Amino acid sequence: MRALGRFLLGVLAVVGVLTLGLVGLVWWGLSSLDVAEVLHDVERPERFVLTLDLRRPFPEGEPAVPFALLEGGADPSLAGTVRAIDAAAADPQVTALLAEVGGTGAGLAQAQDIRAAVQRFRAAGKPAWVFAETLNEGDDMVDTYLAAAFDQVILQPSGGIGPLGFAAEVPFARGLLDEIGVQPQFDAREDHKNALDSLTRREMSAAQRESLDALLGGFWQQVRADIATDRGIAPEDVQKAALASPLLPPEALEARLVDRLAYRDEAEAALFEQAGTRDTLALEDYAADLFGDGPSGDRPHIALIHATGEVLRGEAEESLLGGEQAIYSDTVARALQEAVDDESTRAVVLRIDSPGGSYVASDILWRKIRQVRDSGLPVVVSLGNVAASGGYFIAMAGDHIVAAPGTITGSIGVISGKIVLQEMWNKLDVQWDAVTTGGPALMYSANQPFTWEQWQKFQRQLDWIYADFVDKVAQSRGLTRQQVEAVAGGRIWTGTAALERGLVDELGGFDAAVAEAKRRAGIATDTAVSLVSFPKPRSRFDQLMETLGGTPLAGTDARTLAALARVVRLLDPLADHLEAADTGAVRTPLPAYTGDGR
């Protein structure tokens, strides 16, 4: 039977080698073809209309892994979209811009960035038209807001404009949790830090209602004023149209929110005639042609680092097919250090879009940004849709913060706690028992509530974190503690309100952040720069090996052989037992297998 064990090992090794070889072959093939080049290998016309699809999300940052490009093509990032529109404005080959909107995935702050780029395109003397089958079928009015920035808005005759306005609905599940025996034990600093009120309350608190009312009211004021300016009507007319919405196509035309009712082919024909060409090029192909060869060596380099998603400790784990974005403290800190170590870097633009997360991870990045500044490299922070809680904690470390008017900003506070399942277990007649040593090892166990003493210790932790947050805001922003406390407590602000309260330095988009970085680096305003992404992309083979790092056959040859050796050690006793069973001999028990066998 020992021969059986050897046979099984041989089969495992052969399968492993074939698997690694097959994956390597596929990867080599894709590397040779260059996936991005294949997907964007489009001939550029002599003169053309640039087309822009606004019916999609606008990711913050480019895809980190090449296989993500195979999922129907990766959407151009917000920064890439803005840069491409700006380049097209100065490109004599681009004669016009034709966009389509409807169900956009852009947030309000992103929409403001895109709108500003479209307006700069128009200021270059080129027509910018937008077509929509229908507007505002989603949850808010960002469709109409985006469309208003174009000089011609064409709506399909069977379309319309949905409700104009903003709303926030919040579910409260405390009654359900009580019914099933789940007890939420959370606390916050302070009353406006209400991210978990849905679990702890049965209805909206006065503080939460105040925050949401101020936030949505600020959004509406910005959008109403901008649409009125764009469309050449009074803000009162926008308000009137909002109260009358949803609007039928003739009503949208009468309200001057659209310029004509026509089908897509009719809109295209009219613009092509004005532009003097029927040739088109999609923005993603145009951007790939512009930026696909990497930065130009003779241009000043500005590092571009994206910090998107929840703030977490540790290093990001990559997948060949991509995944949810998050801000991993070790990964972003490494990117910042790489930018410092690169002698060609003149400044850093840190793009943040985050609702927060780990306090410890946020503090790691706060410290790292301060170290980058101490090295003499300016750090300009560009805020996306959200820079709240831990997202703002990171942002405040920069030299200069640029926020969009619609950026959700602040939420200076802390919230923590646990869910207690003790009553639910009792209802299910499930009993838990435990053994502990040392201190309160079960303090955060979901199977028992906080004791009085544990609750007091928990409160001390919240007080400590909140005090540190407030003190660092005061230190970073040059404010007194009293000034910070007046805007903290978990309160959220629009970018406009944050500017008024000293939480940010400037209102603007991605282009404004780059301009400020150039200024601080001593680069002339009219000098073109190269935006260099950090961390720098690794080879495709390295990405493959890291992605497969959790499998026995991953990594270098040495790691592969070591993994196979561990399998040999495991199969040897099994083969011995099989042989013993066959001969009737007595054997010792199988060894315990823990972890990876090391």
Confidence check: pLDDT of 596 > 60: no
For residues 411-438, give the mean pLDDT. 93
CATH architecture of 44-164+245-287: Alpha-Beta Complex (3.90)
Q: What is the pLDDT of residue 29?
A: 47
**295-431+443-541 in CATH: which number?**
3.90.226.10
Question: pLDDT digit string (tens) for 492-501?
Answer: 999 999 999 9
297 — pLDDT class (breaks 50, 70, 90): low
pTM: 0.82
Q: Percentage of residues in the chain with pLDDT exceeding 70?
A: 78
- Inter-residue contact 35 to 264 (CB < 8 Å): no
Where residue 298 falls among pLDDT bands split at 50, 70, 90? Answer: confident
261 neighbors 155 (Cβ within 8 angstroms): yes
Contact 143, 102 (CB under 8 A): yes
Active site residue 457: no
Q: Which of 389, 411, 476, 533 is the catalytic position?
A: 389
What residue ranges in 309-413 does DSSP mark as E strands?
A: 310-312, 326-328, 345-354, 379-388, 400-403, 408-410
Query: Residues 57, 105: contact at Cβ < 8 Å?
Result: yes
For residue 425, is pLDDT > 60?
yes
* Distances in whole angstroms, Cα of residue 538 to Cα of each of 202, 266, 313, 347, 518: 50, 47, 22, 22, 27
Question: Could you confirm whether 389 is annotated as catalytic?
Answer: yes
H-helix or E-strand containing 151?
none
Where in the chain are all domains bearing CATH 3.90.226.10? 44-164+245-287, 295-431+443-541
Reading the block at residue 224, the tokens are: 């109403």
Mean pLDDT of all residues belonging to the chain: 84
Q: What are the residues whose beta carbons fall under 8 Å from the beta carbon of 69, sequence distance 6 or more?
A: 35, 36, 39, 63
Q: Which of 368-377, 411-420, 583-592 has the lowest mean pLDDT?
A: 583-592
**pLDDT one-digit tens code per residue, 82-91:** 999 999 999 9
Tens digit of each residue's pLDDT (9 = 90 or more) over 143-194: 999 999 999 999 999 999 999 999 999 999 999 999 999 999 999 988 999 9
Spatial contact of 62 and 77, defined as CB atoms under 8 Å apart: yes
State how far the Cα of 359 lies from the Cα of 311, in Å rounded to an integer.
Answer: 8
Q: pLDDT tens digit string along 359-377?
A: 999 999 999 999 999 999 9
Query: Is the previous residue joined to 266 through a cis bond, with omega within 30 degrees of 0?
Result: no
Contact present, 425 and 447 (Cβ < 8 Å): yes
Among the listed residues 77, 126, 193, 382, the single catalytic one is 193
Instruction: Check pLDDT > 90 for residue 5.
Output: no
